[in-house]
Amino acid sequence: MALRSARTWSRLLAPAWLGVLLAVAVIGTPAPFALLSRAEAGQVAGHMLAREATLSLIVGVVLALIERHLARRRADAGQGSQFSVGMGLALGAVFCTVLGYYALQPMMAEARAGAGRFTFGQLHAVSTAFYGLKLLLVAALAWLSSRTSSSS
């Protein structure tokens, strides 16, 4: 991958990912709760969050690989480490997706059924915290990618 192409993809993907996360959080998930019964709204929001989690995994891994490529190129030129802040931010967002969605969803289903160690509300709060942290990490990544691409 050419260096300029990698920077361009990073500059485009990170803000687009941030836009998706914001749209889901601010518009997508609250809207069904304003119009539908709580159970139906929960199903719609759950469906939307499942799609967002899959997208986040894909985009997060792609951005981590792009950032790794850029860091390796800088390290080969004697300008730093093979690990970059951008790669750490992307991997942190992937980690938040895996824990905040994929690890907690089965537990939330158990809690809804009255089983499990934690209540649905507790698990929902933890999941929401992971989503918020992911949003902050992706916002930092989008800012960093725009900043480094304009200074290059």
Give per-residue pLDDT as tens, 88-109: 999 999 999 999 999 999 999 9
Residue 66 has pLDDT above 60, yes or no: yes
Give per-residue pLDDT as tens, 43-65: 999 999 999 999 999 999 999 99
> So where are the chain's domains?
3-151
Split at pLDDT 50, 70, 90, the class of 10 is confident
Supply the pLDDT for residue 151. 46
Supply the pLDDT for residue 152. 46
Closest CA to 14 of 117, 85, 107, 100: 85
What does the block give as tokens for 138? Answer: 């992706």
The whole model's pTM is what? 0.90
